[in-house]
Amino acid sequence: MQSNSEEPRQEITPGQAQLDSSITQKINYLETLQRALHDRDDRQIYELIDKTRYDREVKKSRATTQTQELADLVANDHQQLSHYLSQNLIEYLGQTYPFFYYDEVQDGEFDIYFGNWWDRRLFGQLDVLNVAFNFDETEYNKLKRTFELSAMNQRYNTDHIAEITSKSAELQKLIDQQDERDHQKDQLRDQLKEVSQKSTLPWDSGKVKEERQSIVDQLSNLADQDEASMNANKQIKENDEQILGLSKEDTILNYEKQSIQQTFEDFSHFESHNQSLYTDYLNSLIGRGR
């Protein structure tokens, strides 16, 4: 007698098939990424984490396949991926941008420093996953302006230093003119005394009052100059320290300018290399079979 215990086979619905396909696709993606990690294939990792950009900028393809959902599977692992991928990237950058130095402030996050000299400046951050520099806008614009001013034989702080120097010269003038002001004050006080002793007849009172006020205004102005003169030495010293700081900044900016010129000739070539960094680096990995 034949057993009827076997269950009838369930047909797979379109919804189940779609779900199965989606899960399979994700499993295949993660397995491919895992193999790339085991094989130390940085190029393929970059392709997997942003295939749309890789196709557009490296393959020069117009493909519009959306794979962001798959890339999001490892979104929580970006710090570890950035830390891992940084090794080869920083090695490449060390040859291409020999004046930049990198400090990993925490896993996968890197500060960029310009130069290895005293008082070097923090210049921005390195985005390893996107193979991009995120430069500090203020520092970057200072350097760019330094190149522009160099064509006019000027430095970044030339005008600022000239302005402060002019203010110090005016302050020194106040100090040097103290004896002259004291003499003027003595003369004005004598004049004030004479005016006060003049006739106060009704037809003269307006004129005397006006003359007296003019002398008082002059004395008040000289008193203001005296007060400014009393603080002048301190202000001149502060100005000198400010000029020294600006001169140091000009020296650092000049070091940076020379470093870029030695590597890229001019600032425009530096900028163009920055813009093509992702493509250049990925192509270098292809060339090395990595």
Bridge partners (DSSP) listed for residue 125: 111, 134
Measured CA to CA, the distance from residue 90 to residue 233 in angstroms comes to 50
Residue 45: pLDDT above 90?
yes
pLDDT band at 237 (very low <50, low <70, confident <90, very high): very high
Contact, 136 vs 123, CB < 8 A?
A: yes
Measured CA to CA, the distance from residue 156 to residue 247 in angstroms comes to 9
250-279 pLDDT tens trace: 999 999 999 999 999 999 999 999 999 999
Contacts 24+ apart (CB under 8 A), 270-274: 273/96, 274/133
179-203 pLDDT tens trace: 777 777 767 777 777 777 765 655 5
Average pLDDT over residues 39-52: 94
Measured CA to CA, the distance from residue 155 to residue 149 in angstroms comes to 6
Residue 241: pLDDT above 60?
yes
Contact, 114 vs 103, CB < 8 A?
A: no
pLDDT at residue number 290 = 57
Bridge partners (DSSP) listed for residue 106: 109
Per-residue DSSP letters for 176-233?
Answer: HTHHHHHHHHHHHHHHHHHHHTS---HHHHHHHHHHHHHHHHHHHHHHHHHHHHHTHH
